[in-house]
Structure 1
Amino acid sequence: MADIVTKTVTTNYDKSIPEEVDSLITNVAPTDTPFLTSIGQGAKVKTLHPEWLEDTLGDAGDNAHVEGADSTATAITPPALLDNRVQRLEKAFMISEDLEKTDKHGRKSEIKYQSGLKTKELARDLEWNLINQTKQAGTTTLAAKMDGVLNFPGTGNTYDFDATPAATNHIIEDILNDVLQSMWEQGADPDCVLAPPSQKRKISAFTQGGRLVINSNASEKSLKMTVRILETDFGIVAVLPERFIAPSVDTTPDPDVYYDKLVIYEKGRLACATFRPLKREKLAKTGDAEKYRLTMSKMLKVRSKKCVGTITNLTRVQPAA
């Protein structure tokens, strides 16, 4: 009797079975920019190194003078000069002629699709730089860079745990209130707190003493575990979760340990200023491909340093319950 030979053909290798590709392209990268959204982009600048003035009032105190006496004039203190640098941000991409003509899943034009992606990437980059960047004057070989908001806290508006990283460096109400009080005493009206994810969770746990009011509906089977608004002694403050605050790094242990920062600010005194708005332009063709560039020139304007505060060296470790 002849041997029976069995051959198995799997779907992994049978090329006669067509592929199925969903027409929707999934992109789960975050695109929200809470800091940029809160301060707006209304301001415009006309130079690459804008400067502006910040003034203040003398301290309030006893003011009584003898009738008929001569006045004694004192020297005035001129306004302080603040400045920042305009920073150019860019994204460039190249699409081959063949790719643009090919039938594609999820989009008709690769050029339009990539332009949308790069625009979102630019917005994320702008958010990061508005927060974290350090100012640098531009040269023929160095790009100009702006100062982000972390470089603008006013005198007395900072708390950094003596610049000592530690797992016990938790954000607590007293620390936040100390910074808010300092800003308020100088005349600012802080209304926003920018918080990395770990610190946002800790702020949502500011519920000691039964002060958290919970409105619940049993039929919805939901439990709300968030604090978005803090009503403090120094005003109502919105707590905004932020993905793009760059942490500081303690390199002493192995592996490295990351520590967070908080930014407290008065949003009406800050703005993202525009020197050149977003523009897409087609570059010179040097081969069988189309080249495009998206570019814009922006800068952070902080009207007064009194309107910015920071808390740094915050551990990501959650406190014990």
Structure 2
Amino acid sequence: MAQVSGSFSTYDAVGEREDLSDVIYNISPTDTPFMSAIAKTKATAVNHEWQLDSLAAASATNAAIEGDEVSFSAPDATTRKGNQCQISTKSVIVTATLEAVNKAGRNSELAYQISKRSKELKRDMESSLTANNAPVTGNDSTARELAGLGSWLKTNQSAGASGSAPGTSGTNARTDGTQRAFTEDQLKTVIKSVWDNGGDPSMIMVGSFNKQKLSGFT
């Protein structure tokens, strides 16, 4: 195989235009399943609080005679819970010159970078919400941090050896146990515990490895 003598090819020419697609493909995952699924509310203080209450255990012997004199029992007070409002930020700076020049894949560099940072911020928030993190009150030199999901799971949980739930919901981080294989019996035990204690679970969140395990459960 030989090139014809005197051929002028792309390797010799000067001034060929580049072939750059006018699209930017972002391959990073952007799903935030936990944040998208939970309820939203508006906080009006840096420590957002709410109250919890529970019913007395059901009784199968709650029967009284006609005209019975009622004996009163003092009601239980509600339980007050709260979480810190964490400030999460992303910043971007673009020169006026870069904004003005012709670019591939976007018209405005500033708009593109803002859109990108917004997606990053959502992923940061998802990570904070699902973390095993104790709350930090913060001060003028220390940022506030919210209590992540792991800090709230005091009951209805299953841990490996040496693992333990947080001492108080939303106050302490849990202690991770020895890693072990994810089994269907573990899952069923926790779902039963949640149901018996008044919960109604409708979503299971796992990583990609355990999702493959979960898909094999009956």
TM-score clears 0.5: yes
Q: Deviations over 1:50-82 (max 9, x none)?
A: 111100001112324465554433332211111
Q: Deviations over 1:127-177 (max 9, x none)?
A: 11111143111210111111122211242x1101222424xx222222111
**What is the rounded CA distance, in whole Å, between the counterparts of 1:75 and 1:67 in structure 2?**
23
AA of the residue aligned to 2:207: P
Question: Hey, what does 1:204 align to over in structure 2?
Answer: 215
Tell me if 1:141 matches 2:147: no
Tell me if 1:194 matches 2:205: yes
**Structure 2 residue corresponding to 1:56, chosen from 49, 54, 70:** 54
AA of the residue aligned to 2:49: E
**What is the rounded CA distance, in whole Å, between the counterparts of 2:151 and 2:13 in structure 1?**
60
Taking structure 1 as the reference length, the TM-score comes to 0.56
Superposition deviation, residue 44 in structure 1: 1.2
Q: Which has the larger radius of gyration?
A: 2
Q: What SS is found at the alignment partner of 2:47?
A: coil
Q: What SS is found at the alignment partner of 2:23?
A: coil
Structure 2 CA distance for partners of 1:14 and 1:138, relative to 1, 3 Å? farther
Taking structure 2 as the reference length, the TM-score comes to 0.81
Cα RMSD (Å): 2.4
Question: Hey, what does 1:34 align to over in structure 2?
Answer: 33
Q: What SS is found at the alignment partner of 1:29?
A: coil
AA of the residue aligned to 2:109: E
**What is the rounded CA distance, in whole Å, between the counterparts of 2:47 and 2:91 in structure 1?**
25
Q: What SS is found at the alignment partner of 2:94?
A: strand
Structure 2: runs of 5 or more not aligned: 1-8, 164-176
AA of the residue aligned to 1:172: T
Tell me if 1:108 matches 2:119: no
Superposition deviation, residue 192 in structure 1: 0.8
Structure 2 CA distance for partners of 1:196 and 1:68, relative to 1, 3 Å? same
Superposition deviation, residue 15 in structure 1: 5.7
Q: Deviations over 1:220-279 (max 9, x none)?
A: xxxxxxxxxxxxxxxxxxxxxxxxxxxxxxxxxxxxxxxxxxxxxxxxxxxxxxxxxxxx
Superposition deviation, residue 29 in structure 1: 0.5
Structure 2 CA distance for partners of 1:15 and 1:118, relative to 1, 3 Å? farther
Identity rate of aligned residues, in percent? Answer: 31
**What is the rounded CA distance, in whole Å, between the counterparts of 1:88 and 1:37 in structure 2?**
19
Structure 2 CA distance for partners of 1:15 and 1:121, relative to 1, 3 Å? farther
**What is the rounded CA distance, in whole Å, between the counterparts of 2:106 and 2:14 in structure 1?**
25
Q: What SS is found at the alignment partner of 1:81?
A: strand
Question: Hey, what does 1:306 align to over in structure 2?
Answer: none
**What is the rounded CA distance, in whole Å, between the counterparts of 2:102 and 2:65 in structure 1?**
90
**What is the rounded CA distance, in whole Å, between the counterparts of 1:89 and 1:14 in structure 2?**
52
Question: Hey, what does 1:310 align to over in structure 2?
Answer: none
**What is the rounded CA distance, in whole Å, between the counterparts of 2:208 and 2:98 in structure 1?**
40
Question: Hey, what does 1:165 align to over in structure 2?
Answer: 178
- Paired positions, count: 196
Higher RCO (C-alpha 8 Å, min separation 6): 1
